[in-house]
Amino acid sequence: MAAGTRSSRAALLAVTCLGQFMVLLDSTIVGAALPDMQQRLHTQLNGLQWIVDAYVLLVAMLLLSGGVFADRFGRKRVFLAGVVVFTLASVLCSVAPSIGWLITGRVVQGIGAAALSPASLALLAAAYPVPQERVKAIGLWAGFSGIGLAAGPLAGGVLVDAYGWPAIFLVNAPIGAVLLLAGLRVLGESRNPSAPAIDIPGTVLSVLGVGALTYGLIEGGSRGWTSPVILGSFAAAVVILAVFVAVEGRRSTPMLPLRLFRQRLFTVSNTAMVVVGFALMGSSFFFSQFFVYVQGSSVLRAGLQTLPASLGMVIVSPYAGRLAARYGFRIVVTIGLALAGLGLLALGFTHADTGYGNVWWRLAIVGIGFALTMSPLTGAAIQAVSPQEGGLASGISSTTRQIGAVLGVAVLGAIVRTRQSGGASFEAGLGSAFVAAGVVTLAGAVFTGLWLVKSRPAEVSAPQARPADSPTATTPS
């Protein structure tokens, strides 16, 4: 291989890694700032839920479309457009004068991330056509960008303590500027001429349906679960999602090919991924709040105290795929879910006077447990489909995890608010939320232990919604 080719690929790898790093950093740095946001923006728990879910909802619903956009209109173009949108939205968030403006900025951030993330991996895959080289490059991409998960709580605590919550968004501005300038120079354009048309009806219906469900879950605690608005939002969600299923079943190139779910391995792995997103994101939403509001820590100290969970994920994740290849998907995923579930149950019994020496290991177990699940579940979903649909399967796996994350923040937040409205303390509400997350995760472990078995790859291949050389991104959140 020529030195020039190696250097250009190394530069492309660095740019795509930095782009994904920025997205993942944002997914954990916000958690450290939630207590400061609540105080300075004078918002309640439901406001904090919207700050998180407004972003995750857009990423979840637009991730697959972002991958198709990149393949169809140019991966470099979509990547750089995502960088610009994400960076400008971050600046908007940093200067937001109210909770409404901040949520609006988060929505736009989610749109940018849904373009940037899959395009970064598609660029990388197109630059490394040899499978062995591609696997190594993607491993570096996932490993380096995953540092953002561990850096988020610490960076968030430092920035919030020194400058307040706007700093966690403003830090994206210099990263985005570097990405834009470097990307214009080192990225080469590539596209897939046979990429499918954009599924606009499916995308719109999915956003509206999951958005209506999320609204009901988040606002139900404050408006009342039997209020006409909340009941109407749940009814609208059911109707819209039913229409979504009907529309997707009739389209020749749907955003979400329902026929893939006829494969048991595909269905089981994605169902388990919903559980992972639900319990992981739903519980981590409360980690900093537990240390600040229950144990009286500062924001900076709370950021440091939540590190065991993210460090556990970063350290163990690279080995999860190897373990699954050696022992099988079912054993590794079931053990991972069982560990995470037990860790969450243990967190449910911590109190204001529980020493940190008796808390950190519970967080570490949660992180290690979930680290053992994500890569194997994605691998199981890919194994269940035909080779040319591996990228699509990977994208759907990421989407189901993000959907679980949206529901986790909404449902566990609803549990806390419902307990508080019944006279319980915030501490008691958090305990109930952690226990609920643990029970759901342990139920997921039983589910995968019984049903996550090998399945024959799909014999019939659909129109190539995503070629194998341009998979959508799998963004750990």
Reading phi first (left if > 0) and then psi (alpha if -120 to 50, else beta), residue 409 is in: alpha
d(CA 151, CA 180): 22
pLDDT at 370 over 70: yes
DSSP secondary structure of 106-146: HHHHHHHHHHHHHHHHHHHHHH--SHHHHHHHHHHHHHHHT
In three-state secondary structure terms, 39 is helix
pLDDT digits (tens, 9 = 90+) for 30-81: 999 999 999 999 999 999 999 999 999 999 888 888 888 888 888 999 999 9
pLDDT tens for each residue of 187-215 = 888 887 777 788 899 989 999 999 999 99
pLDDT, tens digit (0-9, with 9 covering 90-100), for 242-293: 999 999 988 888 888 888 998 999 999 999 999 999 999 999 999 999 999 9
Q: Which residues of 340-356 are buried (b: 16+ CB within 10 A; e: fewer)?
A: bbbbbbbbbebeeeeeb
**What is the Cα 325 distance to its own chain's centre?**
24
pLDDT, position 4: 52
Give the angle 271-199-383 at the CA atoms, nearest 5°: 35
Report d(CA 364, CA 312) in Å as an integer: 5
Average pLDDT value for residue range 321-333 = 91
Query: What pTM was estimated for this model as a whole?
Result: 0.88
- The owner of tokens 């169809």 is 72
